[in-house]
Amino acid sequence: MTTATKWALAVGALALALIVALLPRAQNQPTEPGTDLGPARERAALAACVPEGGADAEDSRAASGAWAEVETLCLGDGSRVALADALGEGPTLVNVWATWCEPCREELPLLAEYAQRPDAARVVTVQVQSSPEDGLGLLTELGVRLPALHDGEGARGPVREALRVPTGLPASYVVEGGEARLVTNPRLFTSVEEIVDAVDSAEGAR
């Protein structure tokens, strides 16, 4: 065995030992999903996904039927929440949006303005098809602090399947008593008055 071969074997053995020593450490590093989103969540300052007392509202869960089994991510704090708990009691206006959707950018501030009315229904937004980081960034930019769920970055998600959301966004629903009514007139809100009329019409149709 030549000197060069001996040196090559020695270097190889040393490299292998180094890899073996470092690999377990890398594998054992704790991972905290969403930890890096802490500052973004603080800047967004979103409202709680579950209204006060919502998690204990058994009547609301019962009325929501199968939706009590639908779980998704709360964009504001990273927790897992049941859709039924996020909806709360009484009529809830659910708005499905995406960061790449230009009409959504126009509609979200109107929804936030509507939610400030004393007679407003609860408003819950659902971000889809983009990352939580992008969603938090857009809501911060718009100054919209409504409760927000994240239904995944893919083409499908549990909330979208439960509500049977169409492909075109944004999409709004008035949800009450386990029923979700897609708002079709108008499909896109351009004023707070249109939101008021849509919610009233959906309630009147029950």
pLDDT at 56: 47
32 found inside a domain: no
Answer whether 149's CB lies under 8 Å from 49's CB.
yes
- The answer to the question of residue 10 being in a domain is no
30-61 pLDDT tens trace = 333 444 899 999 999 999 999 876 544 455 55
Q: What are phi and psi of 189, to 5 degrees?
A: -75, 130
**CB proximity list for 153: less than 8 A, separation 6 or greater:** 128, 129, 130, 131
Question: Is 158 part of a structural domain of the chain?
Answer: yes
Mean pLDDT of the chain: 82
Domain extent at residue 110: 38-205
Cα 76 from Cα 180, distance rounded (Å):
24
For 177, the token pair is 């008593």
Q: Is residue 122 part of a domain?
A: yes
| Per-residue pLDDT at 205 | 64
Please state, as a whole number, how many other Cβ atoms lie within 10 Å of the Cβ of residue 145: 15
- State the CATH number of the domain containing residue 90: 3.40.30.10
- 37-75 burial, b for 16+ CB within 10 Å, e for fewer? beebbeebebbebbbeebbebeebbebbeebbebebbbb
Q: Is residue 19 part of a domain?
A: no
Q: Does 28 have pLDDT greater than 50?
A: no
Select the more confidently predicted residue: 180 or 59: 180
Instruction: Find, among 122, 94, 115, the residue nearest to 181 by Cα.
Output: 94
Between CA 190 and CA 155 the distance in angstroms is: 26
Write the pLDDT tens digit of every residue in 80-98. 999 999 998 879 999 999 9
Q: Is residue 12 part of a domain?
A: no
Q: Tell me if 148 is assigned to some domain.
A: yes
What is the value of pTM for the model shown?
A: 0.78
d(CA 65, CA 94): 17
Looking at residue 165, the DSSP 8-state letter turns out to be -
| pLDDT single digits (tens) 6-25 | 444 554 554 444 433 333 33
What lies within 8 Å, CB to CB, of 165 at 6+ separation is 96, 128, 159, 171
Domain membership of residue 67 (yes or no) is yes
Residue 92: enclosing H or E segment and its boundaries?
strand 92-97
- Please tell me the total count of domains within the chain: 1
Q: Examine the pLDDT at 184 and tell me if it is beyond 80.
A: yes
